[in-house]
A and B are shown apart, each in its own frame.
Chain A
Amino acid sequence: MDLLIFEAPILMVQASMDGILLGILFALIAYGMALQWGVMNIINIAQGDLVILGGYIAYFMYLYGIHPAWGVIVSPIIMYFVGVGIYKLVINKVVDRDLFISILATFGISILFMQLMNFAFGADVVLAVSGYGTTMLFDNSVTLPNSKIFAAVISIIFAIGLIIYMKKSKLGRAIRATAQNARAAKILGVDTEKVYAATFGINAALCGVAGALISITFTIHPYMGLPYTIRSFMIVIVAGLGNLPGVAISGMGLGVFEEFADYILGTEFRIGSVFLLLVLILVYRRFKLAKKREYLK
């Protein structure tokens, strides 16, 4: 029974497509995390909660009769300012401290956000309906919800847009300079304080986009943020910092791996197998690094 996927090979197409579409969406969230981790050296535990907040923005637009797809534009704008606000209130006080302090601080923000969202929006699970229908392939045996395809396309557009922005714009260059060496950038006249605020804002905006997409593809709930934080953390770990194409590939790879694990081992091992893979990758990396060190000696 567990090997259904080999009896019906068409399921492999389904699993791969589901995995890739899911992975692209996760990669977008991980992309924001990689950016601000690289620039500010902060691991943002509240990442998933920013995603959920972005989702609520799209959900409320849907409630008031606006098509939730517009959330993809409105949500990042609002979330950018939320991000800058969080930076000014909390993050700027921990940005040059050690990693542990910043993890504690963002963990606190995460709890605060969860409770505030629960207080403001209630504990009901909600979703927005896009009404986009379904694409059917191979005589209806592979189905791809158009909302998921839409989510993947939008994610790719935002990711590419951001890569170009980072390369070409003045702020993008300043962000990259700060990431390389904050002190040198400061000496050369980069206002690192501003760069940090903008980076955190951009990260929150990316979360806003992802949240809006999640509200039309999955469900939204005040306490559902943590899985998104963990998933994006894993993607960044696998890809390595400062490796943006790596983030996209590891996002999709993990998505596909997870789907296949579901078919072959069963749903209960889905998350577990992803964690196992993470451990294996970390161990492998350690050995590789150790080898390098030996060589240097």
Chain B
Amino acid sequence: MKKIYKFALILLSTLGLILGNTSTSFSKVEGDKIILGAAVSLTGKYSSNGVHTQNGYNMAVDRINSMGGVKVGGKTYKFDIIYYDDESNPKRAAQLAERLISQDGVEFMLGPYSSGLTKAMAPVTEKYGVPMVEANGASRSLFTKGYKYLFAVLAPANLYLDVAIRTAVELNGGKGVKIAQAFEQDAFSQDVRLGILDAAKETGSEIIIDDKLPKELNDMAATLAKVKATKPDVLVVSGHTKGALTAIRQISEMQVDVPMLAMTHCDAAKLSKQHGKNAQYALCASQWHKTLTYKDKWFKDGMTYDKDFNEMFGYAPPYQAAESSAALLVFKDAFERANSFDQKKVRDALAATDMQTFYGNIKFAPGGQNVSKPMVLFQVICDSSGKCENKVVAPLKWASAKLIHPMPKWSER
């Protein structure tokens, strides 16, 4: 009797597995749905930015579907996304890419959050010839491997702080400046560093401090003491959120006077919220800012996007969300121009993309990076009541405030 039970149990569970699998097995297009696959970090160390990425995707899916969807071959389709949680782990991300493609049958992918995870997934999507539009992997090495199916809507990492150096040189009457820099040892920050090296070479600037911060370090006191002793014209820091927060804390504590401070990841770090007036005058590189005047049909412009996103998710969209929404707009545009769901045709259509979105102009270089959208720099500026705001100061075309340079000395604040 027991044996029969056991047998029945095994039979049932096998059946369950088979049925379960077939019912969750997707193909690229089911009925009127185009199904995209995405692995994003919902847990682990990237989970806050992973959630911004997912919210950005969801907002765009919602908007495109409610405004008529995607028209291919005279038929209207709606977007749908299968999500998996990659746990902020590159190995897991690569496995999930494999799973999305070979088990779930997805034929078009959206990118994960961070350069590291995108790097892990790109070889898989490339192997299967699955077009992937990503919005959160800026590392230069993604675009030098000759990938044919990878497209990034954001500017590559080496351009993040390029503008800052050029602005400093310009303010110095075209003469080279002395640069002190501290970068975390991760793919992204080291790419930002390479960008600075290029800019320094072109402008005849000199790099006098070049520190590489270990990942586990949250103390920059030694670097800052060197800065104090050598008095550079520009201090550049890139070490994700932790680097930005640590830098501001220790610069204010040690009263380091430097004419220009340029950083990355300021808005993710909520600099002015966590540090108040101590964060004032810091320059931050950003992919997007709501006051930029780019326009499109779906989200209208940055201010409207900001308002709508706020209504839907209850917080102001960081640039990570905006660029993720833009990725969906690129896919929609490519599907309609390809007028087909053939991966090769969609890939060619993606490569020929030339459009404006609320997030910026999008046109891909042969390596897959977006070359027609410059980075913007904003400066943290506080009013007398202590309320701080990020104001765009460069490039001049979009500047909503004048750059305050040099930064006032601590003794005069």
Residue B255 at the A interface, CB < 8 A? yes
Residue B312 at the A interface, CB < 8 A? no
Residue A223 at the B interface, CB < 8 A? yes
| Selected contact of B229 from candidates A8, A118, A124, CB within 8 Å | A8
- Give CA–CA (A11, B182) in the complex, Å: 18
Residue A185 at the B interface, CB < 8 A? no
Could you tell me if A268 and B222 are in contact, using CB atoms closer than 8 angstroms?
A: no
Could you tell me if B253 and A134 are in contact, using CB atoms closer than 8 angstroms?
A: yes
For window 9-26 of chain A, which residues contact chain B by CB distance below 8 Å?
10-11, 14-15, 18, 22
Q: Please judge, given known A-B contacts A119-B43, A122-B47, A219-B218, whether A134 and B211 are in contact too, CB under 8 Å.
A: no
Residue B13 at the A interface, CB < 8 A? no
Could you tell me if A267 and B230 are in contact, using CB atoms closer than 8 angstroms?
A: no
Residue B214 at the A interface, CB < 8 A? yes
Least distance between A47 CB and chain B CB atoms (Å): 15
Q: Please judge, given known A-B contacts A118-B43, A263-B222, whether A226 and B216 are in contact too, CB under 8 Å.
A: yes
Could you tell me if A125 and B269 are in contact, using CB atoms closer than 8 angstroms?
A: yes
Nearest chain B residue, comparing its CB with the CB of A221: B242
| Selected contact of B214 from candidates A4, A125, A140, A267, CB within 8 Å | A267
Could you tell me if A219 and B242 are in contact, using CB atoms closer than 8 angstroms?
A: yes
Least distance between B249 CB and chain A CB atoms (Å): 6
Could you tell me if A123 and B44 are in contact, using CB atoms closer than 8 angstroms?
A: yes
For window 187-244 of chain B, which residues contact chain A by CB distance below 8 Å?
208-209, 211-214, 216-219, 221-223, 225-226, 228-230, 241-242
Residue A237 at the B interface, CB < 8 A? no
- Give CA–CA (A145, B256) in the complex, Å: 12
Nearest chain B residue, comparing its CB with the CB of A21: B221
Least distance between B407 CB and chain A CB atoms (Å): 17
Residue A227 at the B interface, CB < 8 A? yes
Least distance between B142 CB and chain A CB atoms (Å): 23
**A119: which B residues are within 8 A, CB to CB?**
43
| Selected contact of B274 from candidates A18, A127, A266, A271, CB within 8 Å | A127
Least distance between A210 CB and chain B CB atoms (Å): 14
Could you tell me if A18 and B217 are in contact, using CB atoms closer than 8 angstroms?
A: no
Could you tell me if A4 and B254 are in contact, using CB atoms closer than 8 angstroms?
A: no
Could you tell me if B255 and A140 are in contact, using CB atoms closer than 8 angstroms?
A: yes
Q: Mark B291-323, 1 if CB is under 8 A from A, else 0.
A: 000000000000000000000000000000000
- Give CA–CA (A270, B219) in the complex, Å: 11
Q: Please judge, given known A-B contacts A8-B229, A267-B182, A268-B211, whether A126 and B216 are in contact too, CB under 8 Å.
A: no
Least distance between B94 CB and chain A CB atoms (Å): 21
Could you tell me if B47 and A267 are in contact, using CB atoms closer than 8 angstroms?
A: no
**B182: which A residues are within 8 A, CB to CB?**
267
Q: In the complex, which range does the number of interface residues on chain A fall in?
A: 35 or more
Least distance between A18 CB and chain B CB atoms (Å): 5
Could you tell me if B212 and A268 are in contact, using CB atoms closer than 8 angstroms?
A: yes
For window 247-280 of chain A, which residues contact chain B by CB distance below 8 Å?
259, 262-263, 266-268, 270-271
- Give CA–CA (A66, B31) in the complex, Å: 57
Residue B48 at the A interface, CB < 8 A? yes
Q: Mark A133-156, 1 if CB is under 8 A from B, else 0.
A: 010100011010101000000000
Could you tell me if B225 and A15 are in contact, using CB atoms closer than 8 angstroms?
A: yes
**A162: which B residues are within 8 A, CB to CB?**
none
Residue A70 at the B interface, CB < 8 A? no
Could you tell me if B211 and A266 are in contact, using CB atoms closer than 8 angstroms?
A: yes
Least distance between A147 CB and chain B CB atoms (Å): 7
**B387: which A residues are within 8 A, CB to CB?**
none
Q: Mark B24-49, 1 if CB is under 8 A from A, else 0.
A: 00000000000000000001111110
- Give CA–CA (A222, B46) in the complex, Å: 11
Residue B246 at the A interface, CB < 8 A? yes
**B339: which A residues are within 8 A, CB to CB?**
none
Q: Mark A179-201, 1 if CB is under 8 A from B, else 0.
A: 00000000000000000000000
Q: Please judge, given known A-B contacts A1-B208, A123-B44, A271-B217, whether A219 and B226 are in contact too, CB under 8 Å.
A: no
| Selected contact of B48 from candidates A123, A226, A262, CB within 8 Å | A123
Could you tell me if B226 and A263 are in contact, using CB atoms closer than 8 angstroms?
A: yes
**A263: which B residues are within 8 A, CB to CB?**
222, 225-226
- Give CA–CA (A226, B215) in the complex, Å: 12
Least distance between B211 CB and chain A CB atoms (Å): 4
Least distance between A261 CB and chain B CB atoms (Å): 9
Q: Please judge, given known A-B contacts A267-B213, A268-B211, whether A18 and B222 are in contact too, CB under 8 Å.
A: yes
Residue A92 at the B interface, CB < 8 A? no
**B230: which A residues are within 8 A, CB to CB?**
4
Residue B362 at the A interface, CB < 8 A? no
**B46: which A residues are within 8 A, CB to CB?**
123
Could you tell me if B43 and A267 are in contact, using CB atoms closer than 8 angstroms?
A: no
Least distance between A209 CB and chain B CB atoms (Å): 18
Nearest chain A residue, comparing its CB with the CB of B270: A124
Could you tell me if B47 and A118 are in contact, using CB atoms closer than 8 angstroms?
A: yes
Residue A95 at the B interface, CB < 8 A? no
Residue B132 at the A interface, CB < 8 A? no
**A271: which B residues are within 8 A, CB to CB?**
214, 216-217
For window 202-235 of chain A, which residues contact chain B by CB distance below 8 Å?
218-219, 221-224, 226-227
**A41: which B residues are within 8 A, CB to CB?**
none
Nearest chain A residue, comparing its CB with the CB of B50: A123
- Give CA–CA (A141, B223) in the complex, Å: 14
Could you tell me if A127 and B185 are in contact, using CB atoms closer than 8 angstroms?
A: no
**B241: which A residues are within 8 A, CB to CB?**
124-125
For window 245-267 of chain B, which residues contact chain A by CB distance below 8 Å?
245-246, 249-250, 253-255
- Give CA–CA (A232, B223) in the complex, Å: 24
Q: Please judge, given known A-B contacts A134-B254, A271-B214, whether A115 and B43 are in contact too, CB under 8 Å.
A: yes
Give me the 5 closest cross-chain CB pairs, A-B, nearest first. Answer: A145-B253, A262-B222, A268-B212, A267-B211, A227-B216
Complex A-B: 19 CB contacts under 8 Å: A10-B229, A11-B226, A11-B229, A18-B225, A22-B219, A118-B45, A118-B47, A125-B241, A127-B245, A127-B274, A134-B254, A134-B255, A140-B255, A218-B219, A221-B45, A221-B242, A224-B216, A224-B242, A227-B216
